[in-house]
A and B are shown apart, each in its own frame.
Chain A
Amino acid sequence: MGYTLANAAMLEDKYVTYLPSYGAEVRGGTANCTVAVSEEEIASPVASEPDFVVTMNQPSFLKFQSILQSGGLILVNSSMVNVSTARGDIEVVEVPTSELAEQLGNIRVANMVMLGAFIKVSNLVSLQLMLKNLPEILGEGKSKMIKLNREALDLGFNYLKEQT
């Protein structure tokens, strides 16, 4: 998800850095990444106070809601996350990502559903451009999955569009 976002931002000629977690924590748990997108040169790839946090599971939600500034926005996969412990001073946007992905018949595109929703909320990159550039963004290996990924992005984006 982070890599796709970073790639899309680069194709819009924005400054971007993508910092993954690596080593023992690659999948599940609190595997995470940090993406910085800017109109000017990015000093540090380490985010002091991110504007947005996206969490796909409970441990990540508990761990990363604390790094948001007061008034910050957190997107959660409400299929997996119980938000009753959320801080009172942040905005929580719930997207039943896993369920929406299952509607498309493939739970593995949950991340793209979430990315669609994130684009709606953040306005950091254009969904139209991302959909157009998707073959380039995803690379050769994923060419068979373009249609499914487009549907997933649309589904997430439209889910929040309908909510608001």
Chain B
Amino acid sequence: MKKVYTRPKSLKDAPFHYCPGCGHSIIHRLIAEVIDEMELQEKAICVPPAGCAVLAYDYIDVDMVEAPHGRGAAVATGIKRVRPENLVFSYQGDGDLAAIGTAETFHAANRGELITIFFVNNAVYGMTGGQMAPTTLLGQKTTTSPAGRNAARDGHPIKVCEVLAVLGGSAYLERVAVNQPAAIKAAKKAIARAFQHQLKKTGFSLVEILSPCPTNWKMSPVESCTWIDEVMSREFPLGVIKDSKC
């Protein structure tokens, strides 16, 4: 019998704790696949977030250190400056990266830190129970915007890639999704491209990944995937936002 697929070496043999239809498991696997394919397992150091993916170290089999909520880019900066030969990446959600950690992210990008951030945008605070995130869409109902996000009261969804693109230190910014096979393939390519940028020392790299959260969106997994195509990606258009020469 021909083996067509196997669990990546960098992915631990442990069942994911994530909800059915959640994007984290796919993203974890994609990162592990790319680490394997680029032979980076022995070089990689990961900074997992506060949030559902805080347990990433139970799954992705590389060195890991937890950062306080929002400080992933600062911790990654400290590691990378001491160990420039290692591959350093953080994995952060929308609250972690674009609310409490905005300053850390913005300035790490501006300094052109040679780190990679995987920014999982699911438009809500997942682990704490579905509160409004900085990327929640206008009109989207969450537990803290029960009547829907109102721009006058809550501000606008933040387009992280577009904001970081204007900074001199950012080298590679792409927005992808993990809601259907073609998108997942593109996401994997973006992850590899981001690591290439880091290894070639061109500057700061970030991949924003639109990811379904059926539980907090109060949708079925299939509805969630459709919603990303029909609603979410209108606000957050997919594609390369910045790709400096590499």
A and B touch in the complex (CB under 8 A): no
Chain B interfacial positions (CB closer than 8 Å to A): none
